[in-house]
Structure 1
Amino acid sequence: MPGKVLILGGTGEAVLEARRLAAAGVPVVTSLAGRLATQPDLPGVVRIGGFGGARGLADFLAAEGIVRVIDATHPFAAAISRHARAACAALGLPLERIERPVWPKRPGDHWHWADDPAMAARMAPRLGRRILLTTGAGSLAVFARWGGPLYVVRLIEDPGRLPFHDYRIVLGRGPFSLAAEMALMADFAIDLLVTKASGGAATEAKIAAARRLGVPVLLVRRPA
């Protein structure tokens, strides 16, 4: 039997890789952060929660007899990727990274760049007054500090009350179609899209919709 593989997941790419390996008869363990109440349907063993840093991850790998690690986490999950590199180096295990391709800039795109969510939060009120915010729940607090515009906040799960002065919540789990993204922006008269430069095809429709509608985009750069 092939050796056991650990997939560091939480993305669509991780789900596809787990299913591919399981179909090939490879025993798979998928690790999820557990930030969402609903989790994808995955084959094999699913582990929820953190490891306790690089050392905790190394202990888990040794205890479970993992022979290979695949880092398929989100491009902005920098900490777990660092821990994976350190843990695999310490144990001499192969580590693979599934990296989403970046979105190419196309004619008609009007892009602004921020180094991190805090910088984007400072820039956004100067660039738009009706802002579609799709940076995830973890970065909302920095945007709320600056107030001012209407923020249309898209999230997977209802967070309850948010600290914005003026906001609307839109719930949904991607991928979204181009038509749906254009309709959302038109319904709220969006004049700025703020998002992370996550890349990949699953969420590219919002970038294409902004291009079609002439809406500028403020992108948060990927961590180094």
Structure 2
Amino acid sequence: MTGAIWLIGGTHESRWIADCILSQGFSCWVSVTTAAAAGLYPAHPLLTCHVERLTPERARKLIQQHSIQGIVDASHPFAAAVSALAIRLSQELGLPYLRFERPDLPQTTGIYTDLPALLRSNLLVGERVLLTLGVKLLAAFAPLQGQATLFARILPTVTALETALAARFDRRRLIAIFPPVSQELERALWQQWQITTVVTKASGTAGEQIKQTLARELGVKLITLRRPPISYPRQTSDRAGIEAFLQELATSRQSDRLLPPDY
């Protein structure tokens, strides 16, 4: 068998998507950005997990090196840069592309906005704010350090801590923990810190649902950042869509094998 599927991973759904790819007899080349994310995938003779934040040049080289014949993008809904890169390369190189997008939760609680609009508003002024956005966005809140009491939940890594401190977060207002966070622990943190406002992302996970529930229960203002607007060439939100895409690739591969050598 020649060729492989490039799976852009790191999310919990990408684990079962990798299993689908392998069950169809394809090699699976998974790219993630952290060593922790690489632990999602089991050892398998047809699976290679690559840890790197890919540049366009590097991604193009690896696509050629692994004879990639299709791309399944199962990255986080807010990982807009890697999705844009994959779409661009799929069009440039003529590779089939499929986006797996986990369903968005209904907008039933709180305020839905985007980051620039939030930072222009007065929604956080005078509030005790818990940010559950990941460390990449913390620097954007640095100018608000004197206008609000800011807390942040981050991953327990040296890089995350250094990034938070560089954004002028008080180390006493940081909690380092791997998700998922249970509803009981979430409630305890909000109450311990006397949180009045929580800022999160529309990630579509159980954690987002827990925040909606607790915001109603505790009377906390919940602000949810909308997903980046990306026009995906093709997308699905279920296993059937993944399997249909793989079947199309398998049929195309079989057709290529039946062509005469000088075709």
Report the TM range for the smaller structure's normalisation: 0.7 to 0.9
Aligned residues: 216
Distance 2:2 2:180 in 1: 33
Contact preservation (8 Å) 2:196, 2:220? yes
Deviation of the 1:105 alpha carbon: 2.4
Distance 1:134 1:211 in 2: 17
Structure with higher helix content = 2
Q: Of the candidates 18, 40, 52, which is equivalent to residue 55 of structure 2?
A: 52
**Structure 2 counterpart of 1:155:** 154
Contact preservation (8 Å) 2:5, 2:28? yes
The runs of 5 or more residues in structure 2 that have no matched partner are 230-263
Greater Cα shift, 68-77 or 182-191: 182-191
**Structure 2 counterpart of 1:133:** 131
Return the letter of the residue paired with 1:102.
D
**Structure 1 counterpart of 2:32:** 32
**Structure 2 counterpart of 1:175:** 180
Return the letter of the residue paired with 1:184.
L
> Deviation digits for residues 84-104 of structure 1, max 9, x if unmatched?
111111222111111021121
* Identity of matched residues, %: 32
**Structure 1 counterpart of 2:111:** 112
CA distance 1:125–1:112, change in 2 (3 Å): same
RMSD over aligned Cα atoms = 2.4
With structure 1 as the length reference, what TM-score do the two structures score?
A: 0.84
Deviation of the 1:207 alpha carbon: 2.4
Contact preservation (8 Å) 1:122, 1:146? no
Greater Cα shift, 186-195 or 161-170: 161-170
Question: Could you say what secondary structure the match of 1:90 adopts?
Answer: helix
**Structure 1 counterpart of 2:251:** none
Post-superposition, which runs of at least 4 consecutive aligned residues in structure 1 deviate over 4 A?
Answer: none
Distance 1:2 1:98 in 2: 24
CA distance 1:176–1:19, change in 2 (3 Å): farther
Greater Cα shift, 159-168 or 71-80: 159-168
With structure 2 as the length reference, what TM-score do the two structures score?
A: 0.73
**Structure 2 counterpart of 1:205:** 210
Contact preservation (8 Å) 2:201, 2:208? no
The runs of 5 or more residues in structure 1 that have no matched partner are none
Deviation of the 1:223 alpha carbon: 1.1
**Structure 2 counterpart of 1:81:** 83
**Structure 2 counterpart of 1:21:** 21
Question: Could you say what secondary structure the match of 1:151 adopts?
Answer: strand
**Structure 2 counterpart of 1:8:** 8
Contact preservation (8 Å) 1:2, 1:25? no
**Structure 1 counterpart of 2:225:** 220
Distance 2:127 2:172 in 1: 11
Question: Could you say what secondary structure the match of 1:204 adopts?
Answer: helix
